Amino acid sequence: MKRPATGLSTRAIHGTRTPPNVGDPVASPVYQSATFLNPIGSAKNLLYTRYGNNPNQIALGEKLAALEGAEDAVFLASGMGATSLSLMSVLSAGDHLISSNWIYGGTRKLLVEEFQRLGIAVSFADPTRPDGWKRHIKRATRAVFVETPTNPQIRLIDLDPIAELCNSKGLHLLVDSSIASPINFRPLEHGADMVIHSVTKYLNGHADVIAGAVAASRKVISRVRELLKMWGQAIDPHAAWLIERALKTLAVRVPRHNSNAQEFAEWACEHPKISNVVYPGLDSHPDHGLAARILDGYGGLVGVTVKGGTRAANKLLRKLRLATHAPSFGGTETLVSVPRFTSHAGQTKKQLRDAGIPEGYLRISIGIEEVQDIIFDFARALDSV
């Protein structure tokens, strides 16, 4: 019998591990150690947890690389740590970056405030216009940064034409894929050079760890590791161990998020107090065709606009019992957030409108509870609005 290509679930559980020896533990132990016995008479292969080469950190990197189809991957202490080091691995003072205009608020702050201070220029392109990227290219342009699906509008960006452009101009293409997870979408298969994750979201998936990761070629990851040693965003071994454990169920959790979200979105479409529902799995979604072509699952995020704006939305939030009003997404429990006050806090009315965030807009991270319980919670809360 021919050996089938190893499936994502198998990769998420076993990584690239060789068969254990008799007496070895089946689950990885936590290597809660800052430092390790090193070879005498050599500075080679020093093991030190800040270097990112603690066995828990290494095991995780191998798993993510296997899931994304990358040569290598490295985990960091947060999603922002992963974003900042990835960008710094390809940009220097005097360089220019083209970023999608629709990105996580924290990333925007990094690009606008910190990168400006460091002498790295950034232009923001409208991701809904396929010709938008080309217009921004300058002599100093080195890289393009894209987030897809986007947060919190839940729009999809077609990477293939962007990758083609980057390829022809010698630019690095970095993609924040936190919302999709490798179960639903793998950017490297569409020409991206680097995949960035806020592991805090679906990869860990239990709302109990802050972490980030980057997957790319061996060469790029070794540069990220060099920066990690100097800038110091290493992940703690215990956090790494929790994530390795969580990854074992990634390929079970994500399809459940997908199917719950689809059912919730279809229900929300019929509700008289909801004026608009955004979910890539709905025919009405502006990118549904693209989503159907490139995604293996439509994801766990649903955007709804409540009739009656902010007042009505706040009333709804106060009445929810099961769903929790909290930032972040991708965990087992259903969370609701108001992007105007979380990921996009502090933005002007015009910026919010440009970013496609209307008043009364809620981003719901559908958990893996029974979907009828989630629906009931929202139905009852909407009754009082």
Ligand X SMILES: *Cc1c(COP(=O)(O)O)cnc(C)c1O
User: Which residues lie near ligand X (CB under 6 A)?
Assistant: 78-80, 83, 104, 106-107, 147, 151, 176, 178, 198, 200-201, 210, 212
Q: Which is nearer to ligand X, 214 or 374 (CB)?
A: 214
C-alpha to C-alpha distance for 201 and 212, rounded to whole angstroms: 9
Specify whether the backbone of 191 is left (phi greater than 0), alpha (psi in -120 to 50) or beta: left
Which DSSP string do the residues of 215-273 spell out, in sequence order? EE-HHHHHHHHHHHHHH--PPPHHHHHHHHHHHTTHHHHHHHHHHHHHHHHHHHHT-TT
3-state DSSP assignment of residue 121: strand
Residue closer to ligand X, measured from CB, 367 or 381: 367
Q: How far is the CB of 370 from ligand X (least distance, A)?
A: 26
CB closer to ligand X, 67 vs 381: 67
Give the residue with the Cβ less far from ligand X, 106 or 309. Answer: 106
Nearer to ligand X, 185 or 267 (CB): 185
Q: How far is the CB of 110 from ligand X (least distance, A)?
A: 10
CB of 324 to ligand X, least distance (A): 16
Q: Closest approach of Cβ 7 to ligand X, in Å?
A: 26
Please tell me the distance from the alpha carbon of residue 84 to that of residue 114, in angstroms, as a whole number: 10
Tokens, residue 47: 């093991």
Here the tokens at position 144 are 């393009």
Nearer to ligand X, 78 or 305 (CB): 78
Q: How far is the CB of 5 from ligand X (least distance, A)?
A: 29
- The set of residues, in sequence order, having a beta carbon less than 8 Å from that of 253 and lying 6+ positions away, is 202, 205, 332, 368
Q: Please, what is the minimum distance in Å from the beta carbon of residue 111 to ligand X?
A: 12
DSSP string spanning 265-305? Answer: HHHHHT-TTEEEEE-TTSTTSTTHHHHHHH-SS--SEEEEE
